[in-house]
Every structure is written in structure tokens, then in C-alpha cells.
Amino acid sequence: MTGQLITLEGGEGVGKTTNLAFIERYFDDRGIPLLKTREPGGTPLGENIRELLLQGDAMDLKAELLLVFAARAQHVAAVIRPALSVGTWVLSDRFTDASYAYQGGGRGLSLEMIETLERWVQDMLQPDLTLLLDLPVETGMARAKDRGRPDRFESEQLDFFERVRAAYVGRAKAYPQRFRRIDASQALETVQAQIKSHLDAFLERQG
Ligand SMILES: Nc1ncnc2c1ncn2[C@@H]1O[C@H](COP(=O)(O)OP(=O)(O)OP(=O)(O)O)[C@@H](O)[C@H]1O
Ligand SMILES: [Mg+2]
């Protein structure tokens, strides 16, 4: 059996990284080999690109989009496809839905261009399951704010993050087959109980 690609999405401070560890344990307990990774990043080249994306310097929006997809091309070719092909499951802290949300919704770049890059870089590769942690923007920002100097995205204004959130929710509605939206304003244990039930149902479907 080839591995499955699971992605964790959502805006700033919704709890992606916190729940990544929970999901990793879930698969570990069931003896399913899982590779945990993140975007932008996941490879040495990708992590260097991540640094460029997050540092404070002004950046042309098209340059930003191309850097995100450059990192993703390396990630898909060097990490994700090789893992899936040997039956390892992949769990990524963000993937292409984040480009639609941040560069599409947030920055207002053309969705057609994002689709073109997606097809070019990924061919038919799509996540098998996407967990969207959804939360009012102010709550996420309050949770994320104790982390020192804000990066280039964290420095954006509220309306930017409102557009990011709306784009994520729109994608969840457009692709109900693979998306599961979770109310991330709930207590962590409630969020994790819901993640667990989605994973149980997903595993059930794999047979
Ligand atoms: N359900 C929850 N209730 C309260 N606090 C939470 C919950 N989930 C996560 N947190 C806390 O919120 C903060 C941000 O969580 P985390 O870093 O996992 O978010 P993130 O989505 O990875 O953020 P970023 O987008 O900035 O990477 C952490 O301090 C975490 O402990
Ligand atoms: Mg995180």
C-alpha cells in the first residue's frame, strides 16, 4: 500500500504544531510509519527558503509565491513522493492549501496562477486528508504572540488574516471529501478528541 498524505492547515497560532505531536503519537501507537514534516521547509533547501520568506525584508508578491513553490517542488520530489512510494505516511504542517490561503486569499494573487504552479510542481499529488484548525483570528494571534519578534507574515494586519481564514474555510467547503474543519477555539483535549475521531474514520476507510 502506498502511504497517505495528511496535512494540517490553519492560520497563525491555531495549534498546528501542538497537534502534530499528538497525531504523530496516534500513528506510532498503531505501528504505522509516519514522516513528520513542514512547509515552507522539509528539506535543507526548503528550510533555507523558509528563512528568506519569514525574514523581515520586503518582497515582491510574485517572488514570494515562486519561493513557496520552489521549496514545495524540492519537498515533493525529495521527501514526500519517496516516502509515500515506500508506504510511509506523511504528515505535513501546512501544504498547498496554505498557498491558496496566504498568497491567494491574503495577498490577493491569482488563483489560476497558483493552480498552474500546483499542477506543475505536484502533478496529481493531493493530500488524502486535510485537517483545518479554524479559529477567530484574534484568538490565534493572542496564542501566537508570546514568541518574540513577529516574522514577515505575523507582522500583517488583522484584515490579512481574516482573508487567510476565509480562504481556508472556502477551500474546506470546496473539497469536503478530504477536508475536516475543526473548531480550534475549544480546549486542547476536545480538539484532540475530534482529531482522533477523524483519524479513526480515515483509517477505517483505508480498510
Ligand atoms: N486548543 C488550545 N487551547 C489553548 N491553547 C492552545 C490550544 N492549542 C494550542 N494552544 C497554544 O497556542 C499556542 C500556539 O500553538 P501552535 O504553536 O501549535 O500553533 P501553530 O498553528 O503551529 O502556530 P503557527 O502558525 O504560528 O506555527 C501554543 O502556546 C499552544 O500551546
Ligand atoms: Mg506552528
Query: Which CATH number do you get for residue 103?
Result: 3.40.50.300
CA of 120 to the centre of ligand 2 (A): 27
CA of 21 to the centre of ligand 2 (A): 11
| Domain ranges, residue 40 | 5-206
Q: Where are the beta strands (DSSP E) in the chain?
A: 5-9, 34-38, 89-93, 129-134, 179-183
Distance CA 120, CA 114 (A): 10
Closest ligand (CA of 153): 1
Mutate to test the pocket of ligand 1, among 7, 17, 37, 155 (most ligand atoms within 8 A of CB): 17
What is the average pLDDT score of the chain?
96
pLDDT given at position 145: 81
Number of H helices, E strands in the chain: 9, 5
Q: Is 190 in the pocket of ligand 1 (CB under 6 A)?
A: no
Q: Which segment of 55-64, 72-81, 96-105, 168-177 scores lowest on mean pLDDT? A: 55-64
- Per residue in 48-58, pLDDT (tens digit) is 999 999 997 89
- C-alpha closest to that of 62 among 11, 10, 99, 12: 99
Q: Which atom of ligand 1 is nearest to the CA of 144?
A: 14
Nearest-CA residue for ligand 1 atom 25 is: 12
pLDDT given at position 56: 77
Per the CB < 8 A criterion, the answer to whether 169 and 181 are in contact is yes
Distance CA 132, CA 170 (A): 11
Query: Which 8-state DSSP code applies to residue 13?
Result: T
Amino acid identity at 70:
A
In total, how many domains does the chain have? 1
- Per residue in 129-166, pLDDT (tens digit) is 999 999 999 999 889 887 778 888 888 889 999 999 99
The model carries a pTM of: 0.96
Distance CA 118, CA 48 (A): 21
Q: Is 14 in the pocket of ligand 1 (CB under 6 A)?
A: yes
119: Cα within 13 Å, side-chain hemisphere: 5
pLDDT given at position 150: 84
